[in-house]
Structure 1
C-alpha cells in the first residue's frame, strides 16, 4: 500500500504518495500530491491512511485496465475521512475488508493504521485483531513474481538480452500491454482460454494509432476499446491481429517453459485462416500510377539531391525487393556471379537483416537498370570510399535503413496522385510478381527473385512469385515496366557525397 508523506507548504498541509514503477507510464508522474486541509495530528494521519487505502484500490483498478481518476479518488477519501471517524467499508487489494470501523481515540487511530499495514503485508491465512466490526477474511495476496505484469516484464527483458530485433521487442511490448489491460493483472497460474478469447475479441476493436491520439491520453486500454466499440473508426488490419496472436503465443510458451503454466490456454482456440491474415498486403501499381511516379520532370526534381531517391525506386521496380533489402545494400553486395551482375540480398554487414531464410538470394540486375548506368553509379560509390550504396539513409532507431526511404517515397507518390491506403514501396513487389505471372513465368522462378518460400501458398495468392540463374535472367527479361528510366550521369551525386565526407562540427 502507498505510504503517505506529509509536506508542509505555505498553503497548508499536503500529503504525497509515490506512484508504483509499473504504473508510471499510465499515471504520467512519479508522485501524487493532494492538500489535506487540516493541521497535522492523529486525525490527519488517519485521513492520509484512508487516502492511501483508496489509492491502493485505484492502482489495482489501473492494472486491470480500468479507468480511474486518481485525484478524484483521493479527494473523495479525504472528504470521507474529514467528516467523521466511522469507516463504512474499506477493502484492501489482498481481499481484506474492514466494515463499520469506529475510531474514537488516538489509540484507535494508531491501531487501525497498524492493522492496515499488517493486513497489506499478509502472506498467509490469518486473522488480525481489529476494532469492533472489522472483518479480515483468510485470503493470501499473490506474490509479485506470480502476477502477469511481472512475468511480462521478465519476458521482455529476456527478448532484449537475446538481442532480438528491436521491432520484435516493440511489437511484443505493445501486444502484451494490450493483453494486460484487457484481462487485468491476475496471477499467471489463473490464465485460461477465456482470457485469450476476451483478448482476441477486444483487441479487434483497438483503433489504429490509438496511443498517438490526443483524446486517448490518460485513458485505460479498456476505456479506449469501449469508446472504439461505439465509434466507426478503422479497426486493426488482419495482419496486425495475427501479429498480436503471435506475440501472445511466444509469451505463453515462455510461461510454459518456465513452469508458470501447466497447459497452453491457446490450445484449442482456432487460428485465423492464412488467407484472412494476408488479404490486406496491398496491390500492384497500375500503369497509370507508374507513369505518374516516373514522370521525367517530377521524378528528376524529387530525386535530384540523394542517390537513394534516384536508384531505390528503380531497383524496387526491377527486383521486387523489400524496401529494407534495397536500403541496406552495401557496395560489396553488388557482384558478378557466373558472368551475371546482380544484387546479393544477405545479412552480414552492420545493420543488415533478413525477414526469413527465403529472403537470402541473388537477384540479377535487369538490363534496363544496366542501361540506366547503374554500374557507373556503383563505381562512383567505390571511388568515393563509401561502404554503403545509400549512405544518406540512417538506422538510428535500429529498425533498419528503410524507414526514412519508405516515408520519403510514400510522401512523393501521394503528391503524384497515388493515395490509396497501403500503397507504398511494397507495391513494386506486387507489380514484379503479378507481371511476371502474366508473362507465364513459373512461380518457382518468381520466388527465387522476390525471396518467397513456396510452402504456405503466400506467393500464388498475393505475390504470384527457380531453380537456376539463367532462368532468373530470362524471367527478368520478360518484365515490362512500361516506363522510360532516367539515365545516371557519372558523378551525379558528387555534391551529396562531399557533404557526407565533411568532418562534423563539434558542439560548443
Structure 2
C-alpha cells in the first residue's frame, strides 16, 4: 500500500519530491498552466514538508493579492509587475536537516510574503531562516539532476536495459536518502564516508520489506537488522562512483575528483560462490524428475548438463538461438554473442566459441536442436520469455526451487553459477593453462601469450580442453538421454 504524502508534495520517478499547488480556476487565465510544480530537491518527506508549507502559504497569499489587483476599478496594468516564477533551493547537512532555505522571486512584494511565511515557521520551532541573496545558489547541478543526465545518456547509448536502469536509480535514490540531494560538487570525502558507514548498517532488500516502509534511514538503522552483505555494499558504492567518474569529464558539473573512488569495504568474510561437490551433483541429478524421466519443460532437463559441460552462465544459456549452434573446422560449437534480439553478454571477453562436449552430443543436444528447427522454432528454449533482466528469470526461479527441494544448502554459495565454478575448477585442477580456460568460459586471459597467440576461432584446439572435464560416472549415469524422457504433466 502506497504511503500518502503530505499536502502539496509529489514524488517524481527519480525519488525527488516536488511542490505542487493547483491554480484557482478564477485565476488560471493569468497563467500558462493549471498548476505550479517545482522541485524541492530532496527525497526526504520531513524536510520537503517544511518547504512545501512555506510555499503553500506564499502562493495562497500571492493568489489573494492577484485577485485584489484584478478587482474592478483596479489598474490591471499592475499585473505586469507580478511574476510567479518562484524558485526554491535547499541545502542539507549530513544529518538531512536543512541548514538554510532561500526563497526568491521578482514580484514586488512576494519576497516579503515568502520571508514572512518562512519566519513564521521558524518562530513555530522549525529553525529555518530565509536568505534572499542569490550568492549561495550552488555552482553545480544537484546530484539528482546529474543522475537524470547520466541515465538519459546510458539509455541513448543502449547500454542500459530497463532493469539495469531501475537497479542503478534505486542505488542513487538510497544515496540521496542517506546524504541528501546536494550539488554534486559539494559531495566530498566526508559525505562519502558518512554514506559508507550508514550503508553498512542497513538491511538487505530494504525496499522490498513492508516493515521499513515510511521509516527514515535513522529509524531503519535503529532497528539493528542484519546488515546487507559486503558485496552489496561495494556494488552500491561502485555505482555511485560510476556517476562521479562520468561527470569528471563534463565541465557542467564542476568536479575535479571522484570522492567515491576506491571506497570499498573488505569482502574477506563474505560468502563466495563455490563449485558443487560430487555428492551434491549426485543429489541434483537424482531428483524425482530424473528418476521418473519426466520434466516440467525442456530447460528443466537441459540447463544443468549444459551449465556443467560448457561453463556458461545461466543467462548465456537461456538466451541461445538455434543459429548459435554452428560447425567450425568440423567441430560442433555454441557461439555465445549478443547478435540477436534480447541477447547480451557481460563484456567483450564473453563473446566466444564453445565446442560442444561429447557427453552433451550423446544426450541428444544436436538432435533436440534439429527437432526445434524442423518445428520452425528460433530459440533453444522458446518457453522462456524475455523479461527486463533477459530470458533467465523463470529459469533462475526454477533452479532455486529445485535446489531447495533437493536439500542443497547455501543460498549464496551454491547457486546455478556453481556449475560454472565446477567446470572451471576441474580444468584448472587438471593443469589446463589458465588462458586456455579463459577463452572457453569468457574470462580475460591474464597472460600475454594467451592474448596474442591464441587463435580465438580455432575450435579444433579448444575441443580437447572442453573434453578434459569428464563428469564422474556416479551421477552422470543418472542422466537419461533426450529421446527417453517426457515433458509436461502426465495425462
- For normalisation by structure 2, the TM-score amounts to 0.71
Match of 2:142 in 1: 147
Aligned ranges for residues 326-365 of structure 1 at < 5 Å? 326-365=317-356
Q: Aligned pair in 2 of structure 1 residues 93, 171: CA closer, same or farther (>3 Å)? A: closer
Match of 2:178 in 1: 182
Q: Aligned pair in 2 of structure 1 residues 24, 357: CA closer, same or farther (>3 Å)? A: closer
**CA deviation after TM superposition for structure 1 residue 386, in Å:** 0.3
Aligned residues: 400
Q: Distance in 1 between matches of 2:339 and 2:269?
A: 29
Match of 1:284 in 2: 275
User: Contact between 1:67 and 1:219, CA under 8 Å: does it hold in 2?
Assistant: no
Q: Distance in 1 between matches of 2:407 and 2:364?
A: 28
Q: Aligned pair in 2 of structure 1 residues 120, 245: CA closer, same or farther (>3 Å)? A: farther
Q: Distance in 2 between matches of 1:170 and 1:272?
A: 22
Aligned ranges for residues 47-446 of structure 1 at < 5 Å? 63=42, 65=44, 93=90, 95=100, 115-117=112-114, 137-140=131-134, 142=137, 146-166=141-161, 167-224=163-220, 226-227=221-222, 230-231=224-225, 233-238=226-231, 240-259=232-251, 260-266=253-259, 270-272=262-264, 276=267, 280-295=271-286, 297-299=288-290, 304-397=295-388, 399-422=389-412, 423-446=414-437
Q: Distance in 2 between matches of 1:368 and 1:416?
A: 24
Q: Aligned pair in 2 of structure 1 residues 420, 296: CA closer, same or farther (>3 Å)? A: closer
Q: Aligned pair in 2 of structure 1 residues 144, 92: CA closer, same or farther (>3 Å)? A: closer
Q: Aligned pair in 2 of structure 1 residues 156, 237: CA closer, same or farther (>3 Å)? A: same
User: Contact between 1:142 and 1:187, CA under 8 Å: does it hold in 2?
Assistant: no
Gap regions ≥5 residues in structure 1: 1-15, 34-55, 79-90, 99-110, 122-133, 457-465, 497-508
Q: Distance in 1 between matches of 2:201 and 2:129?
A: 41
* Secondary structure, counterpart of 1:257 in structure 2: coil
* Secondary structure, counterpart of 2:248 in structure 1: helix
**CA deviation after TM superposition for structure 1 residue 68, in Å:** 6.8
Match of 2:462 in 1: 472
User: Contact between 2:294 and 2:485, CA under 8 Å: does it hold in 1?
Assistant: no
Give a deviation string over 1:241-275, Cα, whole Å, max 9, x none.
Answer: 332233222211333233212311427x54548x8
**CA deviation after TM superposition for structure 1 residue 227, in Å:** 2.7
Q: Distance in 1 between matches of 2:315 and 2:332?
A: 21
Q: Distance in 1 between matches of 2:269 and 2:133?
A: 48
User: Contact between 1:328 and 1:402, CA under 8 Å: does it hold in 2?
Assistant: yes
